[in-house]
């Protein structure tokens, strides 16, 4: 993912533990995410309907962002010298992994589609040999993440960031708005019909909003780990 930067220099910014990191790319990413969210509706008239299909372009981009978030959390876990930072990063790894697996229908997208509908190919996770274990594994992963966040004192640090004005409020707001937009387009708010759009176009808006939500989550994670106060707390 283009947001990432290795030690030789690419797109993730300075992750060294001395000095102040360059956060300009995070600000640029924030503006891009806002633009993408505002563009989701007009672009739905231009983007091919196939982009919104299951295992389509937008969903594959979501997986790229999610795997980028996973890779970034791995980098932060290696950079952190404090046990708290390693616990928080490990909890984030589990969340990114579950989210990416969900977007891949737990691996069902790699199978032959079970049907071809007006809204694209249909895949069934029930055909997977480990389908019966998915729910249990997800619950265990989420519980493990929450435990790691508690042990890593994540919630205390978030409250501290809110008090000090360094909490990623814009990214959090974008995630909420994008989630509402996706839910609206999917019809779960009982007002999606007001769009007066074909179902395939609503599907494009839904997937586009989900993409924005994941980008905002990626940026929020990076900002959380890279702000000077968080670094002083987690990397001391």
Inside any domain, residue 5: no
Q: Grade residue 195 by pLDDT with cuts at 50, 70 and 90.
A: low
Q: How many separate domains does the chain show?
A: 1
Q: What is the DSSP letter of 187?
A: T
Residue 217 is encoded by which pair of tokens?
């989550």
Inside any domain, residue 127: yes
30-46 confidence digits (pLDDT tens)? 999 999 999 999 999 99
Select from 107, 116, 230, 233 the least CA-distant residue to 168: 230
Q: Which residue has the higher pLDDT, 102 or 118?
A: 102
Inside any domain, residue 24: no
Inside any domain, residue 199: yes
Asked if residues 208 and 36 have their Cβ atoms less than 8 Å apart, the reply is yes
Q: Which conformational region is residue 55 in: left (phi greater than 0), alpha (psi within -120 to 50 degrees), or beta?
A: left
Inside any domain, residue 10: no
pLDDT at site 118 = 82
Residue 197 contacts by C-beta under 8 Å, 6 or more apart in sequence? 44, 205
pLDDT at site 21 = 58
Inside any domain, residue 14: no
pLDDT at site 230 = 58
Residue 117 is encoded by which pair of tokens?
């509908």
Farthest CA pair distance, the chain: 55
* pTM exceeding 0.75: yes
d(CA 60, CA 142): 23
Inside any domain, residue 204: yes
Inside any domain, residue 57: yes
Q: Which residue has the higher pLDDT, 19 or 73?
A: 73
Which residues constitute the domain of residue 104?
Answer: 52-234
């Amino acid at each position: 993912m283009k947001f990432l930067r290795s030690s030789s220099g690419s797109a993730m910014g300075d992750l060294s533990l001395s000095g102040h990191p360059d956060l300009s790319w995070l600000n640029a990413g924030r503006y891009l995410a806002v633009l993408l969210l505002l563009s989701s509706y007009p672009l739905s008239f231009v983007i091919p309907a196939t982009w919104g299909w299951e295992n389509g372009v937008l969903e594959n981009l979501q997986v790229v962002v999610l795997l980028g978030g996973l890779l970034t959390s791995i980098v932060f876990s290696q950079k952190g010298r404090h046990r708290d930072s390693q616990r928080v990063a490990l909890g984030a790894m589990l969340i990114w992994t579950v989210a990416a697996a969900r977007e891949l229908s737990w691996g069902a997208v790699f199978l032959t589609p079970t049907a071809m509908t007006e809204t694209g190919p249909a895949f069934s996770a029930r055909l997977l040999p480990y389908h019966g274990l998915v729910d249990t594994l997800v619950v265990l992963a989420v519980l493990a993440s929450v435990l790691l966040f508690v042990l890593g004192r994540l919630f205390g640090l978030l409250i501290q960031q809110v008090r000090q004005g360094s909490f990623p409020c814009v990214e959090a707001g974008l995630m909420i708005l994008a989630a509402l937009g996706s839910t609206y387009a999917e019809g779960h708010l009982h007002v999606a019909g007001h769009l007066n759009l074909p179902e395939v176009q609503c599907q494009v808006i839904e997937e586009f909003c989900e993409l924005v939500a994941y980008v905002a989550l990626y940026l929020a994670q990076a900002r959380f780990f890279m702000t000077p106060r968080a670094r002083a707390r987690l990397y001391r």
